[in-house]
Structure 1
């Protein structure tokens, strides 16, 4: 019986350690730490180029990422948006809320796939189709990354690229 108890306690200890490692792996200083800073974003617009400035910084005791995005050149000049992103340890997931000066509002759930970080909307039925949108942060390096805005009309089985921004750190 004592051997069984020792084995049982050892297994429980290993499980608790694995859960602690999982939470540590998903803390706010790891998955979106790369995003903190001031970024210049560019994208092609025909023979010209669109340009935005995106300032992202930690607030609320370094637990919430606050984003301020503004298009400064191109067809969408004057477009502004802001988001807050937070890791919710009680739910073991990231959440983001986005609002902009054109009345846009999105509620996203974070996910991770290989080296990509994503924020994705829940499916919404529109005209019999399950519509979703997501942003994908990819090719992440210290001073650059690519951001894709994608949409799906089949509940996330396939995705179409709507907008791609190439970001370069400016601070």
Structure 2
């Protein structure tokens, strides 16, 4: 027996993707909606010993879940049609789900990177001209925040910062400079 869902078959991806923000909170959803599209980024990662590692990133944002959320991909090394082994050093093929919560006027952020085995949960809000995502204290007792800065329609700077003194001071761990692909 066929159900009503059988009469309207959609692929998983068609069900996931959305054409734009949900109308109820369209203005609030544009905090991350402004990034929808494809980006290229150059990044510097700063180790505690002063070593700097450089990388290039392919970043893609899009609307999902009937426009109620933004999902993005953060990929390095840039694939250019090549596969990268799961355990290859520096491999990050990750996704972020960004969900606006009108009850608290903030965003729930969930970042997942299978090759590194990382899952990070954060809460995000706009503060001045920046978007600040804050995670809970990690196992080492450190705080982490990810901050979008210098946001324009065609560029942004993303900073990963860490604090070992409960937020009194922050050390820059990673910085990306992204430009929108034309």
One fold, TM greater than 0.5?
yes
1:35 to 2:49 alignment:
no
Match of 1:167 among 155, 159, 178: 178
Alignment TM-score, normalising by the size of structure 1: 0.75
Aligned length, in residue pairs: 144
Match of 2:124 among 110, 115, 127: 110
**Matched residue SS, 1:35:** coil
Runs of 4+ aligned structure 1 residues displaced above 4 Å come to 23-26, 44-49
Instruction: Report deviation, 1:156.
Output: 1.5
Counterpart position of 2:160? 149
Instruction: Report deviation, 1:162.
Output: 0.4
**Matched residue SS, 1:27:** helix
Structure 1, unaligned stretches of length 5 or more?
Answer: 1-22
Contact 2:159/2:176, CA 8 A, preserved across alignment = yes
1:140 to 2:151 alignment:
yes
Alignment TM-score, normalising by the size of structure 2: 0.70
CA RMSD of aligned residues (A): 2.5
Structure 2, unaligned stretches of length 5 or more?
Answer: 1-23, 46-50, 79-87
Match of 1:54 among 55, 59, 64: 59
**Rg larger in 1 or in 2?**
1
